[in-house]
């Protein structure tokens, strides 16, 4: 069962409302505790097993902070994409240089990485 847990900060606690399940209100000290608490409470109120609850967390918080959080999430996603692309290109370059007869140590010097990393990248290409 898909539900959305709406959390609002109230002092040191988060007050949680789940509109899809009548009467499902709870509170939690931390955001990370909310999905499990909602699933457990939902099981009691609906007889649907807690494991079948898919909880999406939505929280009200300072709009400026929310914008900063979203910006950081976008930057992190872009950084991960760049790391993934660098890894892909590194594997391709290592494969190409090995095909040209260069040693693992020589490639390590050229790429500025350790010989063991060159070996890992070479194996990644072989299994990818």
Q: What are 86-126's pLDDT values in tens digits?
A: 999 999 999 999 999 999 999 999 999 999 999 999 987 54
Beta bridge partners of 26: 16
128: which 2 tokens? 């990818």
Residues 50-95: pLDDT tens digits? Answer: 999 999 999 998 899 999 999 999 999 999 999 999 999 999 999 9
**pLDDT over 50 (residue 128):** no
Q: Give the pTM.
A: 0.64
Q: How far is CA 81 from CA 2, 12, 76, 84, 115, in A?
A: 29, 36, 9, 5, 25
Q: Where are the domains of the chain?
A: 2-61, 66-127
Q: What is the assigned CATH class of domain 2-61?
A: alpha beta
Residue-level pLDDT at 125:
53
- CA distance readout (Å), 61 to 26, 37, 65, 72, 87: 18, 20, 7, 16, 37
In this model, does residue 127 exceed pLDDT 60?
no
Q: In whole angstroms, give the CA distance from residue 43 to residue 58.
A: 20
């Amino acid at each position: 069962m898909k539900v959305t847990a709406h959390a609002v900060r109230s002092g040191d606690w988060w007050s949680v409302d789940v509109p899809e399940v009548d009467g499902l209100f709870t509170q939690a000290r931390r955001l990370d505790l909310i999905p499990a608490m909602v699933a457990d409470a939902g099981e009691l109120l609906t007889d649907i097993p807690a494991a079948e609850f898919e909880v999406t967390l939505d929280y009200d918080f300072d709009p400026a902070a929310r914008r900063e959080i979203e910006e950081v999430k976008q930057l992190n996603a872009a950084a991960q994409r760049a790391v993934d692309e660098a890894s892909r290109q590194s594997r391709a370059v290592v494969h190409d240089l090995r095909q040209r007869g260069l040693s693992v140590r020589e490639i390590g010097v050229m790429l500025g990485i350790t010989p063991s990393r060159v070996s890992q990248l070479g194996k990644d290409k072989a299994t990818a």
